[in-house]
Amino acid sequence: MIEWAIAASVTLVAAAGLYLASSRDVVSISVGLALLGSAVNLFVFAAGRIGQAAPPLIAPGAAAPLAAVANPVPQALVLTAIVIGFAFACFGIALALALAAHDSRADADALEQAEPPPRPDGEPGEIP
């Protein structure tokens, strides 16, 4: 049951992230990518087996835990991924806001300074 709930949340958050990331507003794009990252973080967490909260104890003399315990490796991985994702979300949103400060429309289609469009006569545009 909990597996389906997690699968549904991953799908929902990823869909929301993709929707925002494909919009034309640069701030929405950055937020969308951060959401997509969160969806993947949830997926990473789920890769470590989901089940009851059994203590990870190994009986004396035994080589493996008594019950099916959660795998700690994905928990370590997801911590790394969350930290990295948070840094990129901050950077992306700061970048989008800096762009919006230069051009109040903040429209992805209007970003033409680094890639000037062709001139009216069809010749390639010139980068100043």
Interface with other proteins by CB under 8 A: which residues? 21, 26, 29, 33, 36-37, 40, 43-44, 46-48, 71, 73-74, 77, 80-81, 84, 87-88, 91-92, 95-96, 98-99, 102-103, 111, 113-115, 123-124, 126-127
Shortest distance, CB of residue 36 to other proteins, whole angstroms?
5
- The least CB distance from residue 63 to other proteins, in Å, is 13
89, 100 contact by CB (below 8 A): no
For other proteins, which is the closer residue by CB, 62 or 101? Answer: 101
**Considering the complex, what minimum distance in angstroms separates the CB of residue 84 from other proteins?**
5
Q: Closest Cα partner for 21 from 89, 83, 84, 87?
A: 89
Cβ pair 73, 48 in contact under 8 A: yes
Mapped onto helix, strand or coil, the DSSP state of residue 128 is coil
